[in-house]
Amino acid sequence: MKPVAAAILLAVATASPEIRYFQTTRPLTNIPPQGGQSCLVLDPGIFAHAAPGLADLRLYRDSTETPYVIRTAAPEEGAQKNISLLNLGEHEGRPAFDAEMPEGKYSDLQLAVTGHDFIATVAVSGSRTQGGAATKLGSYTIFDLTRQRLGRSTVLHLPESDFPYLHFDVTGPLQTESFTGLSVDRLPAGDPKFVSFADSSNGTLKGRNSVFTFIVPAHVPVDRILFVPAAEPPSFSRDVTISASPNSPKTEPDSTPIEAPQPATSYGNLLRVHTLQNGHRINEEHLSIDAPRTDFSTAAKWTITIENGDDAPLKIESVQLQMLERKLCFEAVPNAHYTLYYGDAALWSPHYDYATLFAPQPDAAQVNAEPEQSNPEYQHRPDSRPFTEQHPWLLWAALVGVIALLALIALRTARQTPPTPQ
């Protein structure tokens, strides 16, 4: 690491927040007069103008720093859990099997099914004990219509359930050995909520592909892409590529270009099937795709490519970039005024006891933030680096001077030294 960078890190580590060093302010409104737990939904503008990860975001009551916590609408629940099938066999000539489910609530199940070009119905029931009294949860259609270019789905959209055991009966052309397992995600603590912050209906055709582009400010998180297609056609399956790359090169404080990070890419499939085939009503939609994870320090160019193949291009009414809803929550004092401050890159993320001990309340007040404005008290934070680090050219000047002086002394010494007798 360069000495200058090390000195900057040292300055950051010792910096403390002061109102006069923040560039941007946003007063909060609708503070409850009785006080109590209050929450503000953070909009993308805050992420764009604050430090990465909101490290420099501070909340003040008048001139007093106020502890807060940032909560994400749908925290990750961990990796998908794969489950082995129990009692795999036949019931009245049809495939049937059981599964022991993980503790907690779950909904969508993904069956692992071999084979192609099929439509089958899966009846699911749940019980509290293995082999005990069963409760019917519903019948679900699984299909593989790849020959018709309509994709494949083996997901069972169960109602929210917590039965320790599930039983499955299959009607259709599949054999017992076609079923090899299932997987399930635990439901998050709350329903995921997303905030759309950019949308476009103006795609361009590049060959047979529909391409949509966005410029996303630095540090703004993109969590998923939502597609809103027109009503026609009622059924389609299209592969999608999502790519994000820095929109401008990054430089260090001394303006030395550094290697740009690699583009981030993810892949997905848009699927909509509304059809009646062989007496089976199929209604399946997958119209959102998780975004690739990015960590760019500059604005990023996002490119979304829909591969239409030989079909007519999909008419897309809207492509939306979305972030998970994030709320800043704090304990409001009655009749007090609160202001958000950010725009001081010298700060690190705060650590408050309030965040560690936080317990969300269902009746927390929802507060708002006024538009961004420049901090009228703003001053440039003094450079706390040593004088030589602030002016590195002085070291080079001194070094050149010393070398010149030594060369001059050596030259004068050579002239004054008498020649050696032969």
Instruction: Give the domain-ending residue among 161, 186, 211.
Output: 186
Judgement on whether residues 242 and 175 belong to the same structural domain of the protein: no
Q: Are 200 and 298 found together in one domain?
A: yes
| Rg (the chain; Cα; Å) | 31
Q: In terms of Cα–Cα distance, which of 23, 25, 52 is closest to 341?
A: 25
Structure tokens at 74: 């749908």
Whether residues 126 and 246 fall in one domain: no
Quick check: 61 pLDDT over 70?
A: yes
The pLDDT score that the predictor gives to residue 31 is 95
Both 281 and 261 in one domain: the answer is: yes
> Is 157 within a domain?
yes
Tell whether 344 is covered by a domain.
Answer: yes
Q: Is the same domain home to 258 and 218?
A: yes
| Residue 256 pLDDT exceeds 60 | no
Whether residue 299 is contained in a domain is answered as: yes
- The answer to whether 103 and 187 are in contact (CB under 8 A) is no
Please report whether residue 52 resides in a domain: yes
The string of DSSP codes covering 355-387 is: HHT----TTPEEEEEPPPEE-TT--PPP--S-H
Q: Which of 186, 203, 218 is the last residue of a domain?
A: 186
Strand partners, 126: 135, 166
Same domain, 299 and 221: yes
pLDDT of residue 357 exceeding 70, the answer is yes
- 300/201 same-domain check: yes
Closest CA to 25 of 49, 6, 1: 49
- Residues 293-350 have pLDDT tens digits of 988 888 999 999 999 999 999 999 999 999 999 999 999 999 899 999 999 999 999 9
Asked whether residue 96 falls in the same domain as residue 71, the answer is no
Residues 175 and 204 both lie in one domain: no
Give a yes or no: residue 69 inside a domain: yes
Q: What is the pLDDT of residue 420?
A: 59
What gap in Å lies between CA 191 and CA 26, rounded to an integer? 29
Domains of the chain: total: 4
Q: What separation in angstroms does the CA of 47 have from each of 41, 44, 243, 288, 349? A: 12, 5, 21, 23, 14
Q: For the CA atoms of 384, 389, 390, 391, what is the dihedral angle to 10 degrees?
A: 160
Rounded to two decimals, the pTM is 0.76
Read off the amino acid at residue 417.
T
Indicate whether 266 belongs to any domain: yes
Q: 359 and 408: one domain?
A: no
Residues in the chain: 422
Instruction: Return the closest-CA partner of residue 9 out of 1, 17, 19, 21.
Output: 1
CATH of the domain at 115: 2.60.120.260
**pLDDT for position 177:** 96
Residue-wise pLDDT for 117-141, tens only, equals: 999 999 999 999 988 899 999 999 9
Q: What is the pLDDT of residue 410?
A: 76
Q: Which residues contact 101 (CB under 8 A, 6 or more apart)?
A: 83, 162, 163, 164, 165, 166, 184
Q: Distance between CA atoms of 344 and 341, rounded to whole angstroms?
A: 9
Give the number of other Cβ atoms within 10 Å of residue 344's Cβ: 24
For residue 306, is it within any domain? yes
Domain shared by 49 and 15, yes or no? yes
- The boundaries of the domain holding residue 95 are 81-186
Q: Name the least confident of 56-70, 195-209, 251-265, 344-358.
A: 251-265
Average model confidence (pLDDT) for the chain?
A: 88
Domain identity same for 15 and 103: no
Q: Are 341 and 376 in contact (CB under 8 A)?
A: no
Do the domain assignments include residue 380?
Answer: no
In this model, does residue 144 exceed pLDDT 50? yes
**Cβ atoms within 10 Å, residue 81:** 14
Domain boundary among 186, 206, 230: 186
